[in-house]
């Protein structure tokens, strides 16, 4: 938990995030606040020894969990984050910097989705 809090606190100092695919996004105060809240309150679940190919893996559907799926076969593809930020698929021997980018990406995607839902609710009574 301490690592997440320190990472969340250091996130507040950033004005943008650089992702591994040469994409940089600007972080608003609102987005940083939501990311920090998610980092503190999201449960992290580890999943090992998949019974299905990674492409067929179904998340638990809970937006307050982040599932870390350990990949054991190269055929399951590269380390990556699901489009909704709910699952991190990670190959063995993924470097620390790449892992940090995966976590940042996941929380960024989760925060963007949460903000979109909040804005939709506030504009549609």
Residue 87 is predicted with a pLDDT of 96
pTM of the predicted protein model: 0.79
pLDDT band at 26 (very low <50, low <70, confident <90, very high): confident
Torsion, Cα 106 112 114 116, to 10 degrees, reads -150
- With a cut of 80, say whether residue 73 has pLDDT above it: yes
Torsion, Cα 62 97 112 31, to 10 degrees, reads 120
Work out the end-to-end distance of the chain between its first and last CA atoms, rounded to an integer number of angstroms. 37
User: pLDDT digit string (tens) for 91-108?
Assistant: 988 998 888 889 888 999
């Amino acid at each position: 938990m301490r690592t997440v809090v320190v990472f969340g606190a250091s996130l507040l100092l950033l004005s943008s995030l650089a992702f591994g695919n040469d994409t940089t996004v600007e972080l608003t105060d609102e987005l940083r606040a939501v990311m920090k809240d998610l980092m503190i309150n999201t449960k992290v679940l580890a999943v090992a020894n998949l019974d299905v190919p990674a492409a067929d893996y179904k998340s638990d559907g809970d937006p307050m969990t982040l599932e870390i799926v350990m990949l054991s076969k190269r055929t399951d593809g590269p380390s990556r984050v699901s489009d909704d930020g709910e699952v991190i698929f990670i190959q063995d021997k993924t470097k620390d910097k790449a892992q940090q980018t995966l976590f940042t990406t996941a929380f960024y995607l989760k925060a963007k989705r949460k903000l979109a839902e909040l804005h939709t609710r506030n504009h549609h009574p």
